Amino acid sequence: MDEPVVQHRGSCLCGGVRYEVTGPLRASSHCHCSMCRKAHGAAFASYGNARREHHRFVSGQALLRTYRSSSQVTRQFCSGCGSPLLWHSEGAYADLVAVPLGTLDTPFDSPPQKHIYVGSKAAWVEICDGYPQLAEE
């Protein structure tokens, strides 16, 4: 069987953790929920979805920590530098993982994007692009 083709690579701020994605990143979303804002220390968190079996950490696994932010959701991050590296829900989309787009080292031709959980948006953020805005997801 052919080796799967790596379509994306990414890493954390310190470079200790590296990952590969052997499939497309789809459904790019900017999440304004309070948990993503806290986890990323940012106005919102931008993700692309990959199939779970297409994503693998290729170095720095010992640095990875997993935080369960709600009953079904886990967030993995680098304990060396704090970069968020993976979001996963055991709910309806358990076969997908959400990759924080800011950690990509490869070019990413943006697919259609959307803003989600805009109902929780920080008051100081104004969304100025034309992408759809959903109150939740």
Is 100 a binding residue for Zn ion by CB under 5 A? The answer is no
In contact, 86 and 75? CB cutoff 8 Å: yes
Is 33 a binding residue for Zn ion by CB under 5 A? The answer is yes
Kind of pairing between the strands at 55-59 and 96-100 = unpaired
The first and second tokens of residue 104, run together, are: 């990509």
How many residues bind to Zn ion according to rule CB under 5 A? 9
- Among residues 53 and 122, whose Cβ is nearest to Zn ion? 122
Tell me how far apart the alpha carbons of residues 1 and 17 are, in angstroms, rounded to a whole number. Answer: 27
Smallest distance from Zn ion to CB 115, Å: 11
- Among residues 71 and 109, whose Cβ is nearest to Zn ion? 71
**Please, which residues bridge with residue 116 across strands?**
31
Of 1-9, 27-35, 103-111, 127-135, the segment contacting Zn ion by CB under 5 A is 27-35
